Amino acid sequence: MRRLLITGFDPFGGETVNPAWQAVKLLPDTVGGFELCKLGIPTVFGKAAEAVLAKAEEFQPDVILCIGLAGGRDAVTPERIAVNIRDARISDNEGNQPQGEFVAPDGPAAYFATVPVEKMAQAIRDAHIPGAVSNTAGTFVCNDTLYLLLHHYAGTSTKVGFIHVPRIPEQGSPSLELSRTAAALAAAIEVC
Ligand code: PCA
């Protein structure tokens, strides 16, 4: 069976929950042809990717999929691209607020995700859940994590992707029920 490492961030920006990690926890231990390993990671620049890499060293995944919250979005959105910029509007969970800095000074301007984002978005819609490819993961910790992982695994067979999810109804609108977010993640994983 192929192995997929899936991560979710902890709450940030004054929120008490992060539906990304909550939805990850709802997933079964196998999805499609994958054995899953689930990992909660901190919303901290650099440290989030370090936590993923440490677990990946042990689990040796074929695919790494990170899940984050994007407040304001009304669909489950596989990210197409990560950019080499840290530009934070709010502080991360350790008080860092980089503005206009590089993620990796030696890296290219951007990387494309190496998972099939169009197929994933279609699979989500086929499950009757709003899904769309996103062309920006922002310039906060989610983009940072995707960029650092794509940088690390560039030229290898390990695939790396990221999915942003909406708020849950308790957090305000737009929102999506947690069970539907989890179902969308499962649908996307099946086509990775
Ligand atoms: N969303 C933030 C960081 C953690 C999360 O879940 C982001 O979009 O960068």
Q: What is the pLDDT of residues 130-187, one digit of tens each?
A: 999 999 999 999 999 999 999 999 999 999 999 999 999 999 999 999 999 999 999 9
pLDDT value at position 10?
A: 98
Inter-residue contact 123 to 148 (CB < 8 Å): no
Give the residues surrounding ligand 1 with Cβ less than 6 Å away.
9, 12, 18, 20, 43, 68-70, 138, 140-142
pLDDT value at position 142?
A: 98
Domains annotated on the chain, with CATH:
2-190 (3.40.630.20)
Nearest CA to ligand 1 atom 8: 142
User: Token digits for 24?
Assistant: 């990850």
pLDDT value at position 12?
A: 98
- The CA distance from 44 to 54, in Å, is 15
Q: What percent of the chain has pLDDT over 90?
A: 100
Ligand 1 atom showing the smallest separation from residue 69 Cα: 6
Active site residue 164: yes
pLDDT value at position 144?
A: 99
For 52-137, list the strands marked E by DSSP: 63-69, 77-78, 81-83, 86-87, 99-101, 110-112
pLDDT value at position 130?
A: 98
Ligand 1 atom showing the smallest separation from residue 141 Cα: 9
pLDDT value at position 5?
A: 99
Q: What is the mean pLDDT of residues 44-63?
A: 98
Active site residue 79: yes
pLDDT digits (tens, 9 = 90+) for 3-26: 999 999 999 999 999 999 999 999
pLDDT digits (tens, 9 = 90+) for 115-128: 999 999 999 999 99
Say which residue the tokens 């086509």 belong to. Answer: 191
Ligand 1 atom showing the smallest separation from residue 142 Cα: 9
If you count them, how many residues does the chain have? 192
Distances (CA, A) of 120 to 107, 189, 190: 27, 7, 8
User: Token digits for 87?
Assistant: 């530009």
* Per annotation, catalytic residue among 37, 66, 79, 151: 79
CA of 177 to the centre of ligand 1 (A): 18
Active site residue 37: no
CA of 67 to the centre of ligand 1 (A): 8
Q: What percent of the chain has pLDDT over 70?
A: 100
For the chain, list the strands marked E by DSSP: 2-9, 30-31, 34-41, 63-69, 77-78, 81-83, 86-87, 99-101, 110-112, 159-165
Q: What is the mean pLDDT of residues 101-112?
A: 98
